[in-house]
Amino acid sequence: MRGRRFAFWGAVVLIVASLGAWGCGGDTASTTTSTAADTATTSVEATTTSEVPGVPIKIGVLNPTTGAQTQNGTDVNNGIKMYFDSIGNTIAGHPVELIFEDDASNPQQGLERARKLVESDKVDLLMGVVHSGVALGVAGYAAQASTPYIVTCAGANAITGADRSPYVFRTAETNAQRNLVLGWYAGTKLGYKKAAVFSWDFVAGKEHAEAFAKSFTDVGGEVVYNVATPLPTQDFGPFLSGIDKSKIDVIYAFYASADAIRFVQQLKEFGFTPDIPVIEQGSLTEDEILPEMGDAALGIVDTTCYAPSIDNPVNAKMKELYAQVKPGSNPGWYVYQGYLGAMVAASAIESLGGDVSDKDAFLAAIQGVTLEGPGGPFAFDESGQAVLSQYLTKVEKGDDGTLVHAIFDQVPAVSQAWTP
Amino acid sequence: MQFFLLQTLNGLTVGTLLFLIASGLSVVFGLMRVMNLSHGAMFLFGGYVGMSVQGASGNFLLALAAGAAAAGALGWVVQRLFLRTLMGSQFRQVLLTLGVAFVVSDSILWIWGGVPRSIRAPSLLDSSVGLLGITYPTYRLALIALGLLAGLALWLLWERSLWGAMLRACVDDREIAAAQGIDVATTFSLVFVIGAALAGAAGVLGGVVLGVSIGLDFEVLLLAVVVVIVGGMGSLSGAFVGSMTVGLLDSFSRASFPEFAYFTIFAPVVVVLLLRPRGLFGRAVDR
């Protein structure tokens, strides 16, 4: 009898442990990536500049620097730090103090650290968060505590949806935003008619797949297969075997991280690619994991608000700054989002001359920000949600044989309610 | 027909990988009455070492050997330094293996980073073959064949060799086995190391299909535990039948009702625990 009981408790411990592990990954388009280099797990870190007159402006930055999203959080923090360093950590004569905290992609920890930033560090502004669950919690708290909050990555539609608080802004896209463009583009410009839609079976997966399906069917396309796979899916073989190749002319997929690599490789192994084109909204061929996919990724089309190859002076500056942080590599989406968020925050503070004591004026100043970011023109819509250009890219082989995203088209000013 | 063939092959692929992992877990459980929760970590550690060795040498067989050796060595350390000192205190041992799992998993994050990686199939097998109207990856077919071979080899060792008989004796009744002059502690160490090495080899072999990434250790462990519960603890044939059952069931149900993927994995566990608590091939290890 004893053996059986141990087996049972062993299984219970295991299930609880693994649910905990998956919980960390349960978020939006963000991938669970990280590289060993420079992922210093410093949870608290302050950058101060002394000998500048004026009241210091405190900005609390909350991002995962431990756990599965360590790399993402570190990238965003780097982007934010890079920008503030580049302006000497001073805005309109006021020193800027960044206070970094680690949310570990855990909603409870995120909330607790947000509280600490607001109540004990007395920050004037909150920024950051990759995980949608954390962001929703922090957004609710920021509204309660009357502290402006700029979401830099998390994609859940609800953050800037109907129940959005006036204290909450987002400089990244919603889960739906890119897919609206992609569905329309696939159905019209690319001329696809019958799609197989693959996504993860959880909230973000549904938001992505539904937004794509809606805009694709609006222009006359048809979703022949709608496959929701568990998070994570180790083997896509069974799901792929259920698809009749002759009935579709395109595959849409929303995956990230390890599942994305497996999906792309297995598409090739099971003979889907290169015959059937694959389209996606950016996370499937994220720059971090693209090299692992090899030639199986060639030809995949995606929409994104940022690619290193975008040609403008702001992006050139950002790439130059990033080359000092991580020599020889290009900034990815997460670095870009951190950098953009910092630009937006700095621009709002600048317009107030550095006086952020009046909350209503501060909120109005953030809402009113328009600027040229590394990805082109930036503005907020009336719900504090970023309006950004979308770029259509295709995975190709670069001159040195590595895989790159080559931009081939562009759709300007895409909002969360975008229609053609 | 094509659907049936494809899903059968998919099921056998998953089943083969599960067998390599679950066989060690099951036999160690039978010997020690302790679920080794660090078994998934051994799998992933082997996979990462194999990935690095392949990156450096380009040789898949070398990567496979390195992955197995590294995981075996890790198993030896864990067994020798930690588990031994807690002999006989099962709850502490279970907790300890869980701790080891977390430490190994975090060390992997520290050494290799969190970017998911992949292992390339050996160039000989890196293609697809047409088979009765379906396209199927050659590597997976080779994997199934290898799994059957490994199963046969382990079965011979278990049922036909003197050492296997000693092992079975230890599983059935440790005290009596010890009284007969069998060195239970050494036998156990050896089994633990072999189990870990098999898991490490599975990490490299499976890495081609699944990739290697943080979190995969617990995903795989969960499936292996299901196999051990369904197949019966401490039984090699149980691990084999359990792996293939879970693999095939998983494959067919995922293709037919993808939304119920987790339900169809755990439903058999419930049924087996209700109708035959010791598992399909469980030996009477209870006292």
A23 touches B: beta carbon within 8 Å: no
- The pLDDT, as a whole number, for residue B281 is 81
- The pLDDT, as a whole number, for residue A416 is 93
Of A9, A14, A269, the CB nearest to B137: A269
Indicate the number of domains in chain B.
1
Distance spanning both ends of chain B, measured CA to CA: 48
Specify whether the CB–CB gap between A251 and A279 falls below 8 A.
Answer: yes
Q: Is residue B237 part of a domain?
A: yes
Cα gap B18→B220, rounded to integer Å: 8
Q: What's the number of CA atoms in the CB half-sphere (13 Å) around residue B184?
A: 20
Domain boundaries, given as residue ranges, for chain A: 45-173+311-384, 176-304+390-414
Please name every residue paired with A373 in a beta bridge, in sequence order, or none if there are none. A376
Which residues in chain A (228-287) have CB-CB distances under 8 A to chain B? 228-230, 232-235, 237-239, 241-242, 257-258, 260-262, 265, 269-271
C-alpha distance from B149 to closest chain A C-alpha (Å): 23
- Asked if CATH classification 3.40.50.2300 holds for the domain at A45-173+311-384, the reply, yes or no, is yes
Q: In a 10 Å sphere around its CB, with 0-12 CB exposed, 13-18 middle and 19+ buried, how is residue A198 labelled?
A: buried
Chain A partners within 8 Å of B255 (Cβ): 238-239, 241-242
Specify whether the CB–CB gap between A109 and A156 falls below 8 A.
Answer: no
Nearest residue to B38 via CA among B192, B190, B187:
B192
Specify whether the CB–CB gap between A114 and A63 falls below 8 A.
Answer: no
Whether the domain at A45-173+311-384 and the domain at A176-304+390-414 fall into the same CATH topology: yes
DSSP letter for A121, please.
S
Q: Say if residue B140's pLDDT is above 70.
A: yes
Cα gap B84→B73, rounded to integer Å: 15
Q: Is residue B60 part of a domain?
A: yes
Q: Say if residue A335's pLDDT is above 90.
A: yes
Q: Is residue B254 part of a domain?
A: yes
Q: Which domain holds residue B254?
A: 13-120+135-275
Q: What is the ipTM, given to two decimal places? A: 0.80
Q: Is residue B250 part of a domain?
A: yes
Out of A98-102, A245-249, A288-292, least confident range: A288-292
Q: Say if residue A67's pLDDT is above 90.
A: no
Q: What is the mean pLDDT of residues B67-87?
A: 91
Nearest residue to A134 via CA among A162, A160, A153, A161:
A153
Q: What's the pLDDT tens digit per position in A150-193?
A: 999 999 999 999 889 999 999 999 999 999 999 999 999 999 99
What the block records as the tokens of B59 is 């040789």
Nearest residue to A333 via CA among A201, A190, A137, A172:
A172
Specify whether the CB–CB gap between B265 and B250 falls below 8 A.
Answer: yes
CB atoms within 10 A of CB A375: 25
Question: Structurally, what CATH architecture does the domain formed by A176-304+390-414 represent?
Answer: 3-Layer(aba) Sandwich (3.40)
CATH of the domain at B266: 1.10.3470
Q: In a 10 Å sphere around its CB, with 0-12 CB exposed, 13-18 middle and 19+ buried, how is residue A188 labelled?
A: middle
Backbone φ and ψ of A382, nearest 5° = -70, -15
B12, B105, B215 from B44: Cα distances, Å? 21, 8, 9
> pTM of this prediction?
0.81
Rg (CA), chain B: 19
- The pLDDT, as a whole number, for residue A130 is 92
Distance spanning both ends of chain A, measured CA to CA: 66
